[in-house]
A and B are shown apart, each in its own frame.
Chain A
Amino acid sequence: MVKEIERVGIPVVHMCTVVPISLTIGANRIIPAVGIPYPLGDPTLGEVESKKIRRNLVERALKALETPVSGQTVFED
């Protein structure tokens, strides 16, 4: 799906837990997420902290969209 979105010319950022899979399928902008059952947040730390983590991840995703890349790029923190 990532590739088909990019193919029509819409930049896309993939937020995912298993980065090697994302690299194999061909995503170009990749944000490593928290965990498989909770990619964007960490409910074990409570709602407030979980949301903070999510905001931070989305913020990084937006920055990735604003960053020119020439090939597959994993945006570590």
Chain B
Amino acid sequence: MSKRIVHYINQFFGGIGGEEKADVRPEMREGVVGPGASLAQALGEDYEIVATIICGDNYFGENIDEAVAEIMEMVKKYEPDVFVAGPAFNAGRYGVACGTIAKAVAEQLEIPVLTGMYEENPGADMFRKDMLVVATPNSAAGMRKVVPVFTTLIKKLANGEEILGPAEEGYLERGIRVNYFAEERASTRAIEQLLRKVKGEEYHTDYPMPVFDRVDPCGAVTDVSKIKIAIVTSGGIVPQGNPDHIESSSATRYGIYDITGMDTMSPEDFMTVHGGYDRQFVLQDPNLVIPLDVLREMEKEGRIGELANYFVTTTGTGTSTGNAKAFGEEFSKKLLADGVDAVILTST
């Protein structure tokens, strides 16, 4: 009898639609849909993708408990040997959904699970310690490259075979240490690594230190009625026509735009170029992302001291953390120089 696999994908890969369909509820289809086809082909006839579950990323993200419960019922029916989610590549909400549902399946149904993400996907850090997350390129163009990695791991999981280390198998480090007998003793390895380091050659530490990039919270503001506040957003709000050509995803730029004398974010003046959500509402009312209308009211009422006469903006979707950090480093200097005391940062 062939091994049974249930596959989870989002509305985009399921062919239902893009962001405008991101609120669809989970549905189950018999057999293979979308990216499952290449997996099924590579897995061969001893393995069968018996069902594909499709769910909108927004529905999942906004109704996590309900979505998980609904999908669990679907998975149970098929009694799979392995549950596969994604891969999500660099799609953040999709990555979080894949990790969340795979973790629930693993814990509640005790079925081996597998997903895949680009290492900068926010879901990667959230779930790499809970499951095997195949390291993928940052876009679906890399699917062909990861199919062999997926198929090897799916077969091993289905048959209960030993999973080797992350470098050998192509998944993201889980932070698990496995004992083995090394050919060289530790002192010899240490000296060899030190010499390589001194020579400027590549070396691999036996025990990489975890990276925690955290910033301690700033102290509280004592009285907001006496301070200057600035708005920053990753929601892709730009002046009509997008004069600085900020990308709709994977941004390499940010913009700073004037709001002097404006009481509201007029749709005649502003739009959004964000490619990661359904823009229809924000195109009609950009205040949904930049709350200028209420902040102006609060400024007039004296609820806040002063609103900075500009906002800072970029597109968050697909944007590398490296770029986002560089934007932040740069514009924060301006915020400081302009005497901004606090920031409201909005994300879609």
A residues with a Cβ closer than 8 A to B are 1-18, 20-22, 24-29, 33, 35-41, 43, 47, 50-51, 54-55, 57-58, 61-62, 65-73
Give min CB distance, A16 to chain B, whole Å: 4
For residue A57, which residues in chain B have a CB less than 8 angstroms away from its CB?
A: 291
Give min CB distance, A45 to chain B, whole Å: 12
Query: Taking the complex as formed, is B141 at the interface, i.e. its CB lies under 8 A from any CB of chain A?
Result: no
Most central of A5, A51, A69 by chain B CB within 10 Å: A5
User: Which residue in chain A gives the minimum CB-CB distance to B234?
Assistant: A1
Contact A35 B345 (CB under 8 A): no
Given contacts A4-B327, A58-B294, 10 further A-B contacts (CB under 8 A): A1-B234, A5-B335, A11-B342, A13-B344, A17-B61, A21-B347, A36-B58, A39-B346, A65-B224, A66-B222
Contact B347 A17 (CB under 8 A): yes
Query: Taking the complex as formed, is B69 at the interface, i.e. its CB lies under 8 A from any CB of chain A?
Result: no
Give min CB distance, A15 to chain B, whole Å: 5
Name B280-317 residues within 8 Å CB distance of A: 280-282, 284-285, 287-289, 291, 293-295, 297-298, 303-304, 314
For residue A28, which residues in chain B have a CB less than 8 angstroms away from its CB?
A: 215-218
Contact A68 B62 (CB under 8 A): no
Which residue of B281, B293, B347 is within 8 Å of A51 (Cβ)? Answer: B293
Q: Between A and B, how many residue pairs show CB distances below 8 Å? A: 189
Query: Taking the complex as formed, is B336 at the interface, i.e. its CB lies under 8 A from any CB of chain A?
Result: yes
User: Which residue in chain A gives the minimum CB-CB distance to B327?
Assistant: A1
Q: A17-B62, A67-B220 are in contact. Are A26 and B284 (CB under 8 A)?
A: no
How many angstroms between the C-alpha atoms of A68 and B298 in the bound complex?
A: 22
User: Which residue in chain B gives the minimum CB-CB distance to A41?
Assistant: B288
For residue A55, which residues in chain B have a CB less than 8 angstroms away from its CB?
A: 294, 297
Contact B336 A10 (CB under 8 A): yes
For residue B92, which residues in chain A have a CB less than 8 angstroms away from its CB?
A: 18, 21
User: Which residue in chain A gives the minimum CB-CB distance to B235?
Assistant: A39
- Which 8 pairs across A and B sit closest by C-beta, in order of nearness? A4-B328, A28-B217, A1-B328, A11-B218, A16-B347, A12-B343, A68-B220, A8-B332
Give min CB distance, B7 to chain A, whole Å: 23
Query: Taking the complex as formed, is B219 at the interface, i.e. its CB lies under 8 A from any CB of chain A?
Result: yes
Q: List 29 A-B contacts (CB under 8 A).
A: A1-B234, A1-B331, A3-B215, A3-B325, A4-B332, A6-B218, A7-B332, A8-B332, A10-B335, A10-B336, A12-B342, A13-B345, A15-B344, A17-B62, A21-B93, A21-B347, A35-B58, A36-B348, A37-B19, A37-B281, A37-B348, A39-B235, A39-B348, A47-B285, A50-B285, A54-B287, A55-B294, A62-B224, A66-B223
For residue B185, which residues in chain A have a CB less than 8 angstroms away from its CB?
A: none
How many angstroms between the C-alpha atoms of A55 and B288 in the bound complex?
A: 11
Most central of B58, B235, B346 by chain A CB within 10 Å: B346
Query: Taking the complex as formed, is B279 at the interface, i.e. its CB lies under 8 A from any CB of chain A?
Result: yes
Query: Taking the complex as formed, is B122 at the interface, i.e. its CB lies under 8 A from any CB of chain A?
Result: yes
User: Which residue in chain A gives the minimum CB-CB distance to B316?
Assistant: A1
How many angstroms between the C-alpha atoms of A1 and B335 in the bound complex?
A: 12
Q: A11-B219, A62-B224 are in contact. Are A4 and B342 (CB under 8 A)?
A: no
Contact B122 A24 (CB under 8 A): yes
For residue B204, which residues in chain A have a CB less than 8 angstroms away from its CB?
A: none
For residue A43, which residues in chain B have a CB less than 8 angstroms away from its CB?
A: 281, 284-285, 288
Give min CB distance, B239 to chain A, whole Å: 19
